[in-house]
Chains A and B, each alone.
Chain A
Amino acid sequence: MNIESTSGTPTDSEVILGILNNSENVLKRLYVAYFPMVMQLIINNNGDADDAKDIYQEGIIILYNKVKTGDFELSSKLKTYIYSVCRRLWLKRLSQLNRYGGDIKDFEEYLAVDDETEKNNERDIQFNRMGDALNLLGEPCKTIIEDFYIHNRSMKEICENFGYTNADNAKTQKYKCLQRLKKLFFQQT
């Protein structure tokens, strides 16, 4: 991807390739390009700047996950897709907050995107559960799990960080932590 331009609104295919390649530059340009559109929708429909940030980031994450899992098919303009997803998310939020007056001011075309947001809802639940479970796990387990499974650090490094004299002890500790995490994760309702 050497011909990738470095500023301005990225093309739709640039965005997809950029996400797949974890391009920081594309992500940033994508974010900056469409944030004003979503912000306009939200602040003119009973929301504020923080609501706009939450909804927009949620929308970007949906797009990101979809591209990453490989089931993203660009059937419309990316702009329309993002607007539709954010619009749907905001309507949902408004009705949860009982702020929805049954009327929404639109600024763009939009599509029906119920599926996307439903799937995202499940992911959100698991994400929150995992966060809660890790917090309940407490130190040093939390850091050991994060270092090993998320940051892909070796057991050797972990041993050094925690001052374990014996790598076997560290391993034992890690498995105990994992068992407890599973328990906490699945216990939550």
Chain B
Amino acid sequence: MNDNELLEQIERYLNGEMTKQERAAFEILRSENAEINEKVVEHKHFTNLIKQYGERLELEKRLDAIHNEIDVETLEDELKIHPSFIVRLWRNHHSKISVAASIAIFSVLVTLFYTGYLTNRDQDYRYLSGEIAQIKQQMKTQQRVGMKVPVNPGNIRGTGFAVSSNGCIVTNFHVVRNADSVYVQSVDGKSYRAKVLYTEPQNDIAVLQINDTSFKTLGTLPYAFKNSETEIGESVFTLGYPRDAMVLGPGYLTASTGFNGATTDSTFYQVSIPVTFGNSGGPLLDNKGNIIGIIKASETHVEGANFAIKSNYLIKAIQDIPADSLNRPLILNTKNTLANLTRVQQIKKLQNYVFMVRVYNQ
């Protein structure tokens, strides 16, 4: 029995085409011969696969035929969830929209590039911030300067006091040195033009004359000028303009001589009054209200030591003023009206005769 004959037997057996005897004989053969049995099972399985393939193919054909009867397009329209107008617009035209947007962005960039906007932007900013920094700096400087310098500042400022009722004022020579113009300002804020009448540089004394049409007279001076030496320990005071307002400087006479660097100088008193540059030229008075000196601010740079020019040098200087430079002879007041007053009352009277000296030079 060759393979083909066996296969035919198997097929007849599986298809039930065998007679009863044949079938019985084949079943015995099958149970005795494992190889044949295996072939039967294998053949059955394989022909089943072919059959299934055929059935499935046929089913698909049937389904396709049914499917073709369905109006798929109408159904699709009905079942599709329609997105909003904008989404549809995007889906249908997104390539066109993208291209348009790209061109727009590109052209904007090119325009910006060629107009120099992109390159200059940063520089502009730096200029601007530089300017702001400059302005800030200027403002700071102004603030700092503004604290020391008044609205109409003189280049140099000092203090002076009247020596006569007609407007002769004594101050320090160093205050008015190289002056182009000098103004004196009274305690009530009135400013008068003045000229330098006489100077004594060696004693640092200058005499000014108010030379202004608005100036009338000061009235009788309340203080006298003391010619004699004052003793150490005497309570003294000064009035001056270390700043825009008049300031009282109280203290004691602490030495009957000054010293300039290494050498003592008998022209000066030493006082314990704290003074600054603006006090220069201010009057030094004793308790009774006599002028005993002229404050000379610490030009010598010795700490804590302030000096005043003794009044006898002042008297001598006034006497030395050439007669032809005076309208009328200058007679120093010798009558002191402050002697028995309190300090407050003294100052009330005194303040009208103490001036701020402003010097302008180029």
Contacts and interface: CB of A to CB of B under 8 A. Distances in A.
B154 to A, nearest CB: 86
Contacts of B72: 39, 49, 53
Interface string B125-142: 000000000000000000
A131 interface: yes
B49 interface: yes
A178 B70 CA distance: 40
Contacts of A105: 81
A27 B53 contact: no
B53 A130 contact: yes
Size band of the interface chain B makes with A? 20 to 34
Contacts, number: 82
A150 B76 contact: no
A149 B63 contact: no
Given A36-B75, A43-B80, A175-B4, A31 B67 contact: yes
A181 B53 CA distance: 13
B356 to A, nearest CB: 89
A60 interface: yes
A146 interface: yes
B62 A131 contact: no
A39 B56 contact: no
B3 A175 contact: yes
Given A27-B66, A43-B80, A64-B59, A127 B7 contact: no
B340 interface: no
A159 B4 CA distance: 17
A9 interface: no
B8 A40 contact: no
A175 B80 CA distance: 53
A28 B59 CA distance: 11
B54 A44 contact: no
Interface residues of A, number: 36
B46 A182 contact: yes
A57 interface: yes
B50 A31 contact: no
Nearest to B67: A53
A14 to B, nearest CB: 16
Interface in A136-189: 145-146, 149-151, 171-172, 175, 178, 181-182, 185
Contacts of A149: 47, 50-51, 54
Contacts of B303: none
Contacts of A150: 50-51, 53-55
A52 to B, nearest CB: 8
B38 interface: no
B231 interface: no
A160 B21 CA distance: 31
B64 to A, nearest CB: 8
A31 B56 CA distance: 16
B52 interface: yes
A61 B59 contact: yes
B60 interface: yes
User: Which 6 residue pairs are nearest across A and B when measured between Cβ atoms?
Assistant: A150-B54, A130-B53, A40-B79, A149-B50, A31-B66, A175-B4
Interface of A: 24, 27-28, 31-32, 35-36, 39-40, 43-44, 49, 53, 57, 60-61, 64, 105, 123, 126-127, 130-131, 134, 145-146, 149-151, 171-172, 175, 178, 181-182, 185
